[in-house]
Amino acid sequence: MDKDWFATLLEDNGPPEQAMHPCPEQLAELEGHLPADLLAFWRSHGIGMWKRGKFQFCLPQRFAPVAERIFARDAQLMPSETHIVGFSAFGELLAWNEQHQSLLIDLPHFAVRVDKFNDDEATGSYPIAVPLFMLEFEVSFEVFADTPQAEPLFSRARTRLGQLSLGECYGFVPALPLGGPARLDHLQRLDALTHFSFLADLGRCRLLVRPAAGAQETVLRTIGG
């Protein structure tokens, strides 16, 4: 029997906060495109956030324009088969590709990671829930301040700016790709869809792979046509 990944995540994190329940028609559109266990989880518990906004789920239909911007004309990771299902407070996007399974897009740093593309993991299975087990580690889904101490920013941003609402993120202004510093006083609460669309228009992502277990990541290629 397949492992019930989302049952374990519920035990670890509780029900999603600020959850909204998509209408049945919205979820029906995703049948055959997303994993059945994710859709079942959304039907039962809605689309919400965990860890007080450190990560939140989202409807892929709403964030399809972001996927189109990132993966436009990419022959391997086609935007029509790549669905954004959630994101961190700072813009690390969790997505599902119908051919290559789960992937993470570190949008502020223009990096895409697909576990299946690592040479030491090429034959494995990569459920959509597995990256979310990193939420138990404080340094995961974080951005660190551009200071000698490199402090994690999430809890400090929440204290300074308030907890995120569903559909919001913390974004640097100016954006990091434009030379903005990764500092607390440059963070703002922003509409996530608007901010991620803006970031995706600033440059092309790089596909990062690990050529062997324990090896450093290398750039395989640039994403897009």
DSSP secondary structure letters along 61-79: HHHHHHHHHHHTT-SSS-G
Q: Is the pLDDT of residue 72 over 50?
A: yes
Distance CA 182, CA 174 (A): 9
Would you state the pLDDT for residue 1? 36
Q: Band of the pLDDT at 2, cuts 50, 70, 90?
A: low
Ranges of each domain in the chain: 5-142+189-222
Q: Band of the pLDDT at 121, cuts 50, 70, 90?
A: low
Residues paired with 212 in a beta bridge: none
User: Containing H/E element for 171?
Assistant: strand 168-172
Q: Mean pLDDT: which of 113-117, 192-196, 214-218 is highest? A: 192-196
Q: Is the pLDDT of residue 225 over 80?
A: no
- CA distances 160 to 114, 165, 184, Å, are 34, 15, 8
Q: Are 107 and 92 within 8 A, CB to CB? A: yes
User: φ and ψ at 36, to 5 degrees?
Assistant: -60, -35
Distance CA 167, CA 84 (A): 13
Cis peptide before 24 (omega within 30 of 0): no
